[in-house]
Amino acid sequence: MNKGNIVCEVELIDEKKVKAVKKKLPQDTLINQLSETFKSLSDFTRLKILLSLAEEELCVCDIAALTGVSVSATSHQLRLLKNARLVNYIKEGKMVYYSLDDEHINKIVNEATKHCLE
């Protein structure tokens, strides 16, 4: 993954500093989980779905109407969110009702909103 730059990496970096920071970083597996979580929130349609579900439990049809994308695209995104453990669903006959699976999402979005509005 990292080729060359031998000078920079071996001789000139502030090794103490780098090691000190490295020690404080979360494990790669956690950083990976975090980035995956943010990836789920990084798409306009998915984020709108989550914001909608934060208000109320909704069926695929209604979510599609709210987001303005096709039912198929909505279903694809919902599966993604389900895999990311961000939403849950219950089946009622033909209908499938989705809901938010995690209260943290609201807090995350709220903090991000502060950043956007500052």
The length of the chain is: 118
Query: Burial, 75: exposed, middle or buried (Cβ in 10 Å; 0-12, 13-18, 19+)?
Result: middle
Give the pair of three-digit tokens for residue 66.
């709210």
- Whole-angstrom Cα distance, residue 106 to residue 27? 25
Give the pair of three-digit tokens for residue 44.
């306009």
With CB under 5 to 8 Å by kind, the binding choice for 88 among a copy of itself, DNA, none is none
Question: Contact residues for DNA (CB under 7 A)?
Answer: 1-4, 7-8, 12, 39, 42-46, 59-61, 64, 69-73, 75-80, 89, 91, 93-97
Question: Contact residues for a copy of itself (CB under 8 A)?
Answer: 1-5, 8-9, 12-14, 17-18, 20-22, 24-26, 30-39, 41-44, 46-48, 51-52, 55-56, 58-59, 61-62, 64-66, 68-71, 102, 104-105, 107-109, 111-118
Give the pair of three-digit tokens for residue 76.
């694809």
Q: What is the DSSP letter of 27?
A: P
Residue 7 or 117 with smaller CB distance to DNA: 7
Q: How far is the CB of 99 from a copy of itself (least distance, A)?
A: 13
